[in-house]
Structure 1
Amino acid sequence: MKSSIILLLAIFGFSTGCTVSPKPIDYGHVGCHYCSMTIVDKQHAAQLVTKKGKVFNFDAVECMMNQLKEEDESAMALFLVNDFDQPGTLVDATAATYLISENIPSPMGEYLSAFKNEKAAKETMTNQGGKLFTWVEIKNQFKL
């Protein structure tokens, strides 16, 4: 009986301990996994979540892209970026539209912003200039 309870507690602990989901970024208090800079910009932050549930936070999309050069992408469950139009809102990076515009600075100087909505990205490009990219295209920009 005692061993059954221990087994049930262990199973419960394993099933709840490795939840694969986004985690809120503690802006102003947590550092970027890639460059160690404190994450304060809610328009440009990003996050990777491994299949085991480990979370890596980044102060900029470009830091996440540079980190991916050192990671096994198949170990990642979630690729997330902040939506430029909804600061602090993480969205699926693989479905986002990216804008590189020298009129919109990002924390690491790559002028890279992500948008959940392609129409919003196009409107911002019309107003700010620059070039749009898909997930595959932006990965190619960073030679991934």
Structure 2
Amino acid sequence: MQTLKHYSIFALLLLILSCNVSPEPINYGSDGCQFCKMTIVDKIHAAEIVTKKGKVYKFDATECMINFLKDFDTSEIQLYLSNNYTTPEALIDATKATFLISKNIPSPMGAFLSAFKSENDAKNVQADKGGELYSWETLLAKLKD
């Protein structure tokens, strides 16, 4: 009986550890975009989704991540992540980010969309590059169509 108890505890630990819900590093130049299938090379505009079960989907741009959502059960998503414009390769919580659409900052799929961890950083770049600022919710509404 004691052995069975140990196996049960081991199985439970294995189950918990196998469902790791965390981002994965993007392998620039080799990982492909889940939506458009292009190779991810831009270290400023990449994005990632992590499901509640720990499955990771990688994208070459935030606009690809948003387009991917149209045919995906969003109730399964735990994390929405976008690269921070001011710190290339650093993934930030997209739901808390400030986004800038500026014709002076090209992104891989032509939406001219960049994510910023702080609203201040976004406003500073906007002052230099122009464009419009969006929250996650207002961005989703704008790109819905």
TM-score category by the smaller chain?
over 0.9
CA-to-aligned-CA distance 1:72-101 (integer Å, 9 cap, x gap): 221110011000000000001011000001
Do residues 73 (structure 1) and 74 (structure 2) align?
A: yes
Structure-to-structure mapping, 1:70-109, within 5 angstroms: 70-109=71-110
Pairwise CA distance, 1:106: 0.2
Q: Does the alignment pair 1:19 with 2:16? A: no
* Aligned length in residues: 144
Question: How far has the Cα of 1:2 moved from its partner?
Answer: 4.6
Secondary structure at the counterpart of residue 16 of structure 1: helix
Take 1:33 and 1:10, find their aligned partners in 2: how far apart are those partners?
32
Task: Report 1:41-52 matches (<5 A).
Answer: 41-52=42-53
Partner-residue secondary structure (3-state), 1:139: helix
Q: Which residue of 1 aligns with 2:55?
A: 54
- Distance across 2 between alignment mates of 1:58 and 1:6: 39
Q: Distance in 1 between matches of 2:56 and 2:62?
A: 15
TM-score by length of 1: 0.95
Worse-superposed segment, 75-84 or 21-30: 21-30
**Residues 125-140 of structure 1 aligned to structure 2 (within 5 Å):** 125-140=126-141
Deviates more, 1:25-34 or 1:7-16: 7-16
* CA-to-aligned-CA distance 1:2-58 (integer Å, 9 cap, x gap): 544433332122111111111111111110111111111111000101011111000
**Structure 1 residue runs of 4+, over 3 Å off?**
1-6
Aligned-residue RMSD, C-alpha: 1.3
Q: Secondary structure at the match of 1:30?
A: coil
1:64 maps to what in 2? 65
Structure 1 equivalent of residue 118 of structure 2: 117
Q: Decide which moves more: 48-57 or 21-30.
A: 21-30
Unaligned runs of 5+ residues in structure 2 are: none
